[in-house]
Amino acid sequence: MNQELSQYISEAKNIVIFTGAGISTESGIPDFRGPQGVWKTNTPIYFQDFIGSEEVRKDSWKRKFSGQDIIKKAKPNIGHLAVAEIINKHESAYLITQNVDNLHQDAGVPDDKITEIHGNAHYASCLDCGIRYELNSIKKAFLENETVPYCDSCGGIIKTATISFGQSMPEEGMQIAQRKTLGCDLFITIGTSLVVYPAAGFPKLAKEIGAKLIIIN
């Protein structure tokens, strides 16, 4: 961390850090839009297609389990550790992340100081009643006979707890992220292309309210 950034952090009263896929590439997780990005090898599955077709859901779960080891084996890198240090050292600091890999939590960021606006890839949930499902049981059934999972409680469709193209952003998470941004005086972005809206609007909002904006890529 350079001296100028350290000074900004030490002088700030309310810090927001905003991270994207770029912070996790060093941990072996590919980004989405880069030369070796996920969307170069896999066409995105849109939410409405997932909802409307069991075959699409089957394909989605195949992709999930074929690539699961990459995320499961990934470890926090120096970037995640640096972010965790800032978050834990400054009581009012808060983390907004577009990442779904859970590496910030693995690095030591408490759950109450992070908002994952694109969800989390380490579990699944029912789209109707919201019950959480761990992936191990879903994976076991799927690998046996490609059984597409449905909720034991309400019969609803189960999906990984990540936000797909065309899926609504989490209302509560977006409200928290906006509130934290409006209250900050230092906004640091790390490893994000700033092209995915509405999430990419937070740095712009911070600048509009007069917060100091730092972009690290």
What does the pLDDT look like over 130-144, one tens digit per residue? 999 999 999 999 999
Task: Return d(Cα 7, Cα 16) in angstroms, integer.
Answer: 15
Question: Tokens 């994976």 identify what position?
Answer: 139
Kindly name the residue from 80, 90, 104, 118 that is annotated as catalytic: 118
Topology of the domain covering 41-73+119-162: SIR2/SIRT2 'Small Domain' (3.30.1600)
pTM over 0.85: yes
Name the pLDDT band for 205 (thresholds 50, 70, 90): very high
Tell me, what DSSP letter sits at residue 26?
Answer: G
Q: Where are the domains of the chain?
A: 1-29+78-118+169-217, 41-73+119-162
Which residues is 187 bridged to in the sheet? 16, 213
User: Catalytic site residue 118?
Assistant: yes
Place of tokens 């009012």: 92
CA distance 1 to 62: 40
CA angle 122/59/76 to nearest 5° reads 25
Question: Which residues face 134 on adjacent strands?
Answer: 123
- Is the domain spanning 1-29+78-118+169-217 CATH 3.40.50.1220? The answer is yes
Angle 32-34-40 (CA atoms, 0-180°, nearest 5)? Answer: 65
| Encoded tokens for 91 | 């009581």
**Across 67-71, 84-88, 144-148, 191-195, least confident range:** 67-71
**Distance between CA atoms of residues 191 and 17, nearest Å:** 11
